[in-house]
Structure 1
Amino acid sequence: MHKLYATNRQLELQAQNLRRQTLSELLCGADKSVRAERLQFYFDSIHLDASKQRLTEETLELLLEWALQCGVEKQRDDLFGGKALNTSENRAALHFSARWPINASAPQSIFGTVKFCAEQRQKMAHLVQQIHSGKWRGVTGEPITDIVHIGVGGSDLGPKLVSETLGDAGERRITSAHYVSTMDGSQLLPLMQTLNPATTLLVLASKSFSTVDTQFNVRTALAWLSEQLSISTEELRKHQVLGVSARPERMDAFGIPESHQLQFPETIGGRFSVWSAIGVSVALELGMETFETLLSGAHAMDQHFQKAPSAQNLPILLGIIGAWNTQFLKIPTHLVLPYDGRLNKLPPYLQQLEMESNGKTVRAGSSQASQVTCPIIWGDIGPNAQHAFYQLVHQGSHEVSADFIAVAKRTTNASCSVSEHLVAQTKLTLANCIAQSQLFALGDDAITGNLAATTDKGYRGNQPNTVIILETLDAWSLGALLALYEHKVFVQSILWGINPFDQPGVELGKKLSTSLYQVFSGNRTASEVFSGDLVDDSSTRLLVERVLLMARN
């Protein structure tokens, strides 16, 4: 504990010194080439450039020492050893088991989970083959052509990100997948106007199989199918619903046949579940081979995280640098800026992954965290963000840190003339990515030469950023990238003493809404609810009364 305190104190002194030093001085000073070269890191086809971070080699050495003293290496081994690191629920966190190669041996401590996940993956492959071959038919006897994936949170964000990214990356779409998550039904309505109900399969993805958002959406979808096909919802559940959950008894009660059920273990959290049976819609849309390749890339990152020395370990480096920015440099927000339109769902995916995991102030032992923890995660596709919030980042009053993510080359099946133009667009996008990362760092000092005469100053600079470049964007590299961020989150949770595998803060708001729903449905009066279930604050009561009045008019 004394050593940990001493290292923290040294890092605080480093932060004080580096607040007085600009990134321009670090990047353009006497030792610029040596420093920049030593802050380049690699894993397979992924390149990570940390040279635009506000740190020195000494800082990085101290951060690595801090990680060691906090127990990152030990807890990493505990994670892969199946220890119960989710202390609030007294269970292990075994999401990596879902991407374990089927023919590879697993440690005895996680063998049962790996075996179960492999069996479910084989069952998934069988179901996917049935649909692709036309053997799975709807209640009227027609083959399935469209999938409506109904989920929310991790049961939606992960599969949707992978489907949209890889579908746009040139993978052949075998079956059309559509994603529905919003509880208001607005995503369902246009689908009900365009899809053929006789050839539509509902994929009901929910770990608990009781999430209200998902249950209401599936009821509406089943009502549509029943009305259009003149068949009972009970019969439809036997033929046109595929259930995915950790609670098979609830799928049974819902009326889904066991042969149309896929399971994943309770030890896999929702936001870590895309690798499990929750990813079935990815396999249905793009094929099992693509899904298996995604898992292979993630497993390769697992192996890197387990075996690479800390000083070359990408998840550890990304984690300690992010914690440095938040805890020691006091930077409250972090930008995710993919410079590839296929990754447009990455920012919201990482918002959930990071903020639901580490957005806590209560430590694993129930004590209060003594330092800031997870930053606010936000972002957008880089070229779009340049025309939205870069003005604030470059010339506003807020400090931010950022991850720029780019793809070096892109292959397409387009004609030669079209491909030539697409290659030019890729080069333009890369140029913008690297130029913006420089401007984030240097600010006014980036204005040189001919630009000096025509450019007004006022660019704040000194915004630390990491640049991650993928050689190509495919299933393997996407799997590795997502696993990299999963492990980064785990590393930071250890540094802050947080349990990243629960989410108690999401529950209370949903419970409070139950009483209000009863009021809006006419089952209870507002007076009843405010005299018992809810605090009678003047604002909430007025809003309820106004909604009731507007609904009646």
Structure 2
Amino acid sequence: MTLASSLTQSESWKTLERHYGEIKDQHMLDWFATDPNRFEDFHLSAAGLSLDFSKNRATRDTLHYLLQLANERELPAQINAMFEGEAINRSENRPALHTALRNFSDRQIMVDGSDIMPEIRDTVHRMEEFCWKIRRNQWRGYNNAPFTDVVSIGIGGSFLGPKLASSALKPYWDSGLNVHYLANIDGTHITEILKRLNPATTLFIIQSKSFGTQETLKNALACRQWFLSNGGCEEYLAKHFTAVSSNVEKAVEFGIAEENIFPMWDWVGGRYSLWSAIGLPLALAIGIDNFRDMLRGAHQMDEHFRTAPLAQNMPVIMALLGVWYVNFFGVNSHAILPYDHYLRSLPAHLQQLDMESNGKSVTLDGRRVDYHTGPVIWGGVGTNGQHAFHQLLHQGTHFSPCDFIMPMCSHNPIDNFHAMLVSNCLSQSQALLQGKTEQQAIDELIADGKSEAEAMVLARQKVITGNRPSNTLYFPKAKPQTVGALIALYEHKVAAQGMIWGVNSFDQWGVELGKKLGNKVLEALESDRIPDAFDGSTNGLIRAFHAMQSKL
């Protein structure tokens, strides 16, 4: 499939540039004043989620022109190519088929001439048997005591996605198991986890496609040694260690029984792997039925993304609005603001999903882009952020579009807590929209007892320009299906933006470079030799490490 010619030279791009010049100084409040149906017309629902995108600096014409851009970039064909298993990850010559992991339809999905669905279903069945044994105490530790704790050892997508889902679905933890996530190669992290655990009742899940990821393998070896030094022995390793990996040989060499090694596939990238056996710790906590419900929610969003017309397609509309801000308003960041304690890990997961996928500067055909791609993703939970970084959102010199994410019902209703939480969410998006004029500030100050002279001086400090865009995503409650749909929504938003920008959203060569250089730096830190190829700063920091280590 051939993309249209250079993005910035396309007719739809030039139309959007002209349109931006026409509306860039217009205020959204004026559009609401003249259009009583704006909320209803700028609103979508899909897979149990509702999206209010009426508080965006976009008119009906804007959406029309953005949809023209999407069609010019052959977005429907590109979406279809992803679902059909074409090798859209061109730099690695692989499909991107995370959607197959939650495919509840009867469709075959072919890779290299073979239907991959039977192997996927078999893996879920193996996960079910595994979870049943652990949760029903049929599989116990070496002293015959049931497991009390599960430690998932991974990093990147093997860590962030499962950790998010585990936090989001904490109300559904029903096994009595405590699930811990170990990722950072930091002695403090592993120490703080292990000191609370009993080796006789702890199960470890090592999550690494290669079984050689530096951080994961180092942590796994440290946990293995901790186990052996605290009552365990080598013959008991298979009772306490399992793996999700494509390198069966290395996992067996580690001491894991082959029947307890779950597969990973090249056609699933790490940041999309939650839906595979990487989600095993989550399934242990919430049960395989709830895990399947999460897959079903994601599948519902997949079908919506695959089949809905672009103008009614929630991930596509969110993607196009993001392109509008990044490429025409010059926005370089996007805030994720969940108003739900259980969703507090969502910004961190979406940082990896978006920034690792679309943090690219070369197109699929190898040309340097002449436009900006993925923004910086950041954010925080609930009203905490209002007393921290929302100040910048309201009065900073750069505006950052926001996604407010809000369950309308709480898992833990106490008094009027949830109404207060919702009121804060809605009022923040309202404040970003309407702001406060200088005259309003003067009137407020005088009403508070300030003299007119004092009010004139202070008023400018209180001016809030408003006209700052936001989406509001809302749903009844964060249930497994809802959480699945929510994560899939953002996966597809990011993919659609990558398709429009013409970049490969499914590789991460910048990550690979850091890994290779890290190995060389480690060699220098562990020896007295500093390679000549290092720069002066790196050499100086290595010498500082040696000097400070020698004084301990």
Task: Tell me if both proteins adopt one fold, taking TM over 0.5 as the criterion.
Answer: yes
Against the structure 1 CA distance between its residues 450 and 148, is the aligned structure 2 distance closer, same or farther, given a 3 Å change threshold? Answer: farther
Question: 1:30 and 2:22 equivalent?
Answer: no
Aligned AA for 1:114? M
> Is the Cα–Cα contact under 8 Å of residues 22 and 462 in structure 1 kept in the other structure?
yes
Q: 2:201 aligns with which of 182, 192, 199?
A: 199
Change (3 A) 1:230 1:247: closer
Aligned to 1:178, the other structure's residue is in SS state strand
Answer yes or no: is 1:100 the counterpart of 2:124: no
**What per-residue deviation string (whole Å, max 9, x for no partner) do you get for residues 167-211 of structure 1?**
1x3542442111111101322212222211101011101122211
Write the distance in 2 (CA, Å) between the matches of 1:149 and 1:195: 13
Moved over 6 A (4+): none
Q: Tell me, what secondary structure is at the counterpart of 1:148? A: strand
Q: Distance in 2 between matches of 1:268 and 1:249?
A: 21
* Alignment equivalent of 1:549, drawn from 505, 527, 547: 547
Residues 441, 463 of structure 2: 8 Å contact kept? no
CA contact (8 A) 2:299 2:485 kept: yes
1:331/1:108 CA distance change after superposition, 3 Å: closer
Deviations 1:442-479 (A, max 9, x none): 21159699967459532132221111111211101000
TM-aligned CA deviation for residue 11 of structure 1: 0.5
Match of 1:425 among 417, 424, 431: 417
Q: 1:230 to 1:431 in 2, by over 3 A?
A: closer
User: Is contact 2:405–2:472 with CA below 8 Å preserved after alignment?
Assistant: yes
Aligned positions of 1:158-197 closer than 5 A = 158-167=161-170, 169-197=171-199
CA distance in 2, matches of 1:516, 1:271: 26
Say whether 1:116 aligns with 2:114.
no
2:526 matches 1:521? yes
The one-letter code of the counterpart of 2:223 is A
1:75-474 pair list within 5 angstroms: 75-101=78-104, 104-109=105-110, 112-167=115-170, 169-232=171-234, 235-412=235-412, 419-421=413-415, 424-444=416-436, 453-454=447-448, 456=459, 457-474=462-479
Is the 8 Å Cα contact of residues 155 and 215 (structure 2) preserved in structure 1? yes
* Separation (CA, whole Å) in 1 of partners of 2:485 and 2:109: 25
User: Does the residue aligned with 2:374 lie in a helix, a strand or coil?
Assistant: coil
Q: Is the 8 A contact 2:47 2:482 kept in 1?
A: no
Change (3 A) 1:224 1:23: same
1:226-273 Cα deviation digits (max 9, x unpaired) = 1111523xx343221110023333323333211111112110000000
Is the CA contact (8 Å cut-off) linking 2:141 and 2:201 kept in structure 1? yes
Q: Secondary structure at the match of 1:334?
A: strand
Return the offset for 1:100: 1.6
Aligned residues: 531
Question: Partners of 2:544 and 2:189 in 1: how far apart?
Answer: 26
TM-score calculated relative to the size of structure 1: 0.92
Task: Please report the TM-score for the alignment, with normalisation by the length of structure 2.
Answer: 0.92
Cα displacement (A) at 1:490 = 0.7
Work out whether residues 47 and 304 of structure 2, in 8 Å CA contact, stay in contact via their aligned partners in 1.
no
RMSD: 2.0
SS in 1 for 2:91: coil
Shift, 1:376, TM fit: 0.6
Greater CA drift, 53-62 or 384-393: 384-393
Which digits, 9 at most, give the CA deviation of each residue in 1:407-432, with x for residues without a partner? Answer: 111244xxxxxx442xx111111111
Structure-1 separation of matches of 2:222 and 2:190: 8
Contact between 2:314 and 2:489, CA under 8 Å: does it hold in 1?
yes
Any conservation in 2 of the 1:180–1:188 contact (CA below 8 Å)?
Answer: yes
Further displaced range: 78-87 or 245-254: 245-254
Q: Which runs of 5+ in 2 are unaligned?
A: 449-457
Q: 1:184 to 1:236 in 2, by over 3 A?
A: farther
- Structure 1 unaligned segments of length 5 or more: list them: 413-418
Q: Which amino acid aligns with 1:129?
A: W
| Equivalent residue, structure 1, for 2:451 | none
User: What SS class does the counterpart of residue 243 from structure 1 fall into?
Assistant: strand
Work out the CA distance in 1 between the residues paired with 2:144 and 2:500. Answer: 56
Go from structure 1 to structure 2 and tell me whether the alpha carbon gap of 1:114 and 1:308 turns closer, same or farther (over 3 Å shift): same
CA distance in 2, matches of 1:143, 1:431: 45
CA distance in 1, matches of 2:53, 2:247: 43
- Following superposition, the deviation at residue 387 of structure 1 comes to 0.9
Q: Deviations over 1:24-51 (max 9, x none)?
A: 2223x322x1233211111143110111
Q: 2:14 is matched by which residue type in structure 1?
A: R
Secondary structure in 2 aligned to 1:136? Answer: coil
Query: Contact 1:139 / 1:239 at 8 angstroms: preserved in 2?
Result: yes
Find the aligned partners of 2:99 and 2:347 in 1 and give their Cα distance: 22
What residue in structure 2 maps to residue 416 of structure 1?
Answer: none
How far the C-alpha of 1:503 sits from its partner, in A, is: 0.3
Counterpart of 2:44 in structure 1: which amino acid?
Answer: F
Q: CA deviation at 1:309?
A: 1.3
